[in-house]
């Protein structure tokens, strides 16, 4: 499977967001990672479906919404309507997973479950038939620019073994750079999210291609 690179706009310059998105698109990004934070599930706030809807008009890249919100059930329809291609919500939330994942899939959006560094994979086993991808957090969610937690590499290996031959993608989010991209990729990840590493560079193309080909 070819590695997909998903720049996280959390580290982009929001004043020039449209230009930033066009630049990563031109630089070869495969999708755009959107971090949705509610100030409750995580200690930070970002943006909601209104902005996503506008972003939809500025790019052809598939949009990947990562919902770090306490109550995904209340917002799922709005994100579906905003035109995203991927939606993940956290397994640590008190949600009716199967129902929610089903609703996402029925709208022709890829359904994903996100897992924090301190959460075990045990609950994932019985929802394997309901997901298109797993998002393994390699940092505690809330902020960009954090350090990759090394233990997560083993977790990627575990999920990789668990999904076996199923058509489920593995996305890794947090602290990705050339060094950690190798670890994540070798462990079985095929989607790498990178925020700070891409947007702090002055050559998006070199970094995106570099990450893809590590
Ligand atoms: C953290 C977010 C990440 C973040 C990754 O809560 O989910 O998507 O933007 O940023 P970097 O690559 O800077 O760790
Ligand atoms: Zn994210």
- Could you tell me the domains of the chain? 4-213 (3.20.20.70)
> Could you tell me how far CA 15 lies from the centroid of its own chain?
22
Res. 1: pLDDT tops 90: no
Please calculate the CA angle 93-121-111 and round it to the nearest 5 degrees: 60
pTM above 0.75, yes or no: yes
Q: How high is the pLDDT of residue 38?
A: 98
* Inter-residue contact 141 to 162 (CB < 8 Å): no
Tens digit of each residue's pLDDT (9 = 90 or more) over 116-162: 999 999 999 999 999 999 999 999 999 999 999 999 999 999 999 99
Q: How far is the CA of 49 from the centre of ligand 1 (A)?
A: 19
pLDDT at 49 over 90: yes
Q: Which residues are catalytic?
A: 35, 173
**Vertex 43 angle, CA 71 and 182, to 5°:** 95
Please work out whether the CB of residue 207 comes within 6 Å of at least one atom of ligand 1: no
Distance from Cα 197 to the centre of ligand 1, integer Å = 10
């Amino acid at each position: 499977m070819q590695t997909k690179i998903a720049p996280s706009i959390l580290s982009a310059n929001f004043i020039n967001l449209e230009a930033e998105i066009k630049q990563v698109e031109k630089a070869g990004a495969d999708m755009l990672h959107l971090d949705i934070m509610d100030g409750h599930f995580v200690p930070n706030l970002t943006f909601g479906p209104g902005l996503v809807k506008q972003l939809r008009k500025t790019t052809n890249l598939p949009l990947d919404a990562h919902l770090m919100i306490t109550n995904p059930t209340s917002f799922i329809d709005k994100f579906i309507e905003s035109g995203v291609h991927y939606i993940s919500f956290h397994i640590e939330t008190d949600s009716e997973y199967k129902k929610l994942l089903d609703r996402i899939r029925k709208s022709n959006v890829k359904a994903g479950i996100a897992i924090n560094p301190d959460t075990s994979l045990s609950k994932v086993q019985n929802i394997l038939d309901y997901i298109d991808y797993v998002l393994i957090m390699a940092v505690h969610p809330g902020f960009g620019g954090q350090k990759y937690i090394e233990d997560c590499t083993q977790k990627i290996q575990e999920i990789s073994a668990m999904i076996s031959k199923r058509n489920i993608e593995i996305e890794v989010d947090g602290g990705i750079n050339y060094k950690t991209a190798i670890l994540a990729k070798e462990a079985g990840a095929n989607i790498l999210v990178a925020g700070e590493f891409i947007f702090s560079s002055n050559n998006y193309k070199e970094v995106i291609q570099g990450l893809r080909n590590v």
